[in-house]
Amino acid sequence: MDKRLIVALDVFDGKLALEITSMLKEIIFAVKINWPLILGAGPGIIRDLSRYSRVICDLKVADIPNTNALITGKVAELGAYGIISHVFTGTDSLRAVRDAGRNLKLLAVVSMSHPGGSQYINRVHSDLLKSAISAGADGVIAPGNDETLLSQIRETGADLVIVSPGIGAQGGSAARAIMAGADYVIVGRSIYESSDPATAASGITRQIHEGIASRSTGMNTLS
């Protein structure tokens, strides 16, 4: 079965993150980790999780090129599969992530799924998308809980991989996000807070494949 689910592990506990990843490794495409887990368990958690699954580091890198390169180089050294970077700091900063990332998949944030995204970043998603393409990003982050915006981004970036958060706890539907243009969906709390994460992940996977069956365009892939 084609794996299109990425599980966000927004937890502090490294042991819990490893347990969930081991449990879901046959179901998911990757795990996404953020600052809470890295600060709680230490950077070595990237290497530990990589034994079970691809690891995407959601650091939302957003600094000058030199600092971006230093952060990205360390993430690559620890065995990550991908890294998430902001675009608004400029194409030069995003290219620094691309160049320092070795074989890392670069996902660029062109819009966000929380309400505050509509204040600033979502208003300029078209410009950010153009910069992401120019910098050679492998894909972009676009909200799965805003199907209109997601469809617009898919139309402009037809060949780009789109990875969509905002599913579940933020109101988005995995099936509808796929139909609107997402290639992968990110789900966190609905899975890691569940009493049965494997069953929850399997249910979302079924929704993803319902969306694929109803989609009018082909799917793009990261791997």
Residue 43, number of CB atoms within 10 A of its CB: 13
Residue 15: count other Cβ atoms within 10 Å of its Cβ: 11
Integer Cα distance of 141 and 164 in angstroms: 6
Residues involved in catalysis: 60
Q: How far is CA 33 from the centre of its chain?
A: 9
Contacts of 177 (CB under 8 A, 6+ apart): 144, 145, 147, 150, 164, 166, 167, 185, 211
Strands 184-187 and 5-9: parallel
Which element (helix H / strand E) includes 186? strand 184-187
